[in-house]
Amino acid sequence: MKKIIIRKADITSLDVDAIVNAANKSLLGGGGVDGAIHRAAGPGLLKECRTLKGCKTGEAKITGGYRLPAKHVIHAVGPVWKGGNNNEEKLLASAYRNSLQLALNEKLKSIAFPNISTGIYGFPKEKAAEIALREVKSFLEEHTEINEIIFSIFDEENYNIYKNLTG
């Protein structure tokens, strides 16, 4: 557990090996945390994203960090919540797992996550937090190379949920 850190923070301010973006399938930017990351990184990020040709839901792709303090951005596409019977939970779990696998492949040691899918995409926050924590914990147990996972939390509701779940 000591490798998992819960922080109230704007993810664009974090000096880590990679921040994860809650992107959409186009990977060409949007609102929420995606918009904030693109604004802070500058136009080089969008230029590189255009070369990636999008990304499937539940998967992730990596780019440079450009003007961000973070060295890389891992663009993960979470599911849109459509009531819960459309594989949403599995797809959210894979978005976290695939992001961590990419970080591992690139030998990254510190990774910060936003609360994927819990904003515009409408995934219930408590359920999303349980999935995120479960996936991150089991990945860290299997892969000791990763030093630190930060949950960079923006809203009070998510912050309280994570604090309660991690004691």
User: Nearer to ligand AR6 by C-beta: 107 or 164?
Assistant: 164
CA distance 116 to 52: 20
Alpha-carbon gap, residue 110 to 92, rounded angstroms? 21
Cβ-contact 127, 113 below 8 angstroms: no
DSSP per residue, 112-148: EE--TTSSTT---HHHHHHHHHHHHHHHHHH-TT--E
| Residues from 30 through 49 that contact ligand AR6 (CB under 6 A) | 30-34, 36
81 binds ligand AR6 (CB under 6 A): no
In the bound complex, what is the minimum distance in angstroms from residue 101's beta carbon to ligand AR6?
A: 19
17 catalytic per annotation = no
Options 15, 17, 34, 155, the catalytic residue: 34
- Tell me which residues are annotated as active site: 34
Binding site for ligand AR6 (CB under 6 A): 10-12, 22-24, 30-34, 36, 78, 114-121, 152, 154-155, 158
